[in-house]
Amino acid sequence: MNAADSLTLDVPAGAADPLLATRLTFIRHGQTDWNHGGRIQGHLDIPLNALGQQQAQRMGAALADNGIDVIYSSDLARAWDTAKALQAHTQIPLIAEQGLRERSFGRLQGQTLEEMFAQDPVLATAFQTRDPHYQPPEGESMLEFRQRVLETVYRLAQQHPGEHIAIVAHGGVLDMVYRDAVGLDLQAQRSWTIDNTSVHRLLWTSEGLRLLAWGDVSHLAELAAMQANSGAADVMQKNYL
């Protein structure tokens, strides 16, 4: 990472105190029809589809006894309705946080990659290169997106020392959190999964984020079996949608 790509976050000084560590459980929202169709959602407010609602309910039941103190969620419907399923099983506070929104892709939102290439191959190629400085028309660069996401996550973690918080967000948000926790730059190829309603556990201290467990979808096993038995096609899990 060069100096122009550096990230500055407000982290309290001092050694990490295990008693003041914040437990973080991140959850990606349930499936939408646009996830299934490979269409870029970004800040567009696309609702959960029927499968996404079932995924959310099973996630909520699975995390009901996890000792979560508060839930924060992106205010976009697909995340918010997923978070409400968790709240229904836990009866704990649910707070909307706009800083947890997916990356804004501006005028690219609503398109598939195929449509982007048909309309503007140069723009589509720039989108695919993962150039941290590339900013879609009226959207955010990856650098801007990462700064927003990590500032929000660090702020929320600092507000709850010694507590356990759940954060319901989007694939792009979770990608930024993973990269920060394991020290990967923005252009590293993704080798980790971020499935709909997957559960990811991290710890935050004054030294930053630490990865504990990633990509738990055990709560979806029965649902996946039902889908397979019904002959349903495999569900596409798109990145940054």
Catalytic residues: 29, 102
CA atoms of 63 and 83, how far apart (whole Å): 11
Q: Is 144 exposed, middle or buried (0-12, 13-18, 19+ CB in 10 A)?
A: middle
Give me the amino acid identity at 148: R
Assess contact for 230 and 30: CB atoms under 8 A. no
Assess contact for 24 and 174: CB atoms under 8 A. no
Give me the amino acid identity at 59: M
CA atoms of 1 and 187, how far apart (whole Å): 9
Cβ count near 155 (within 10 Å): 13
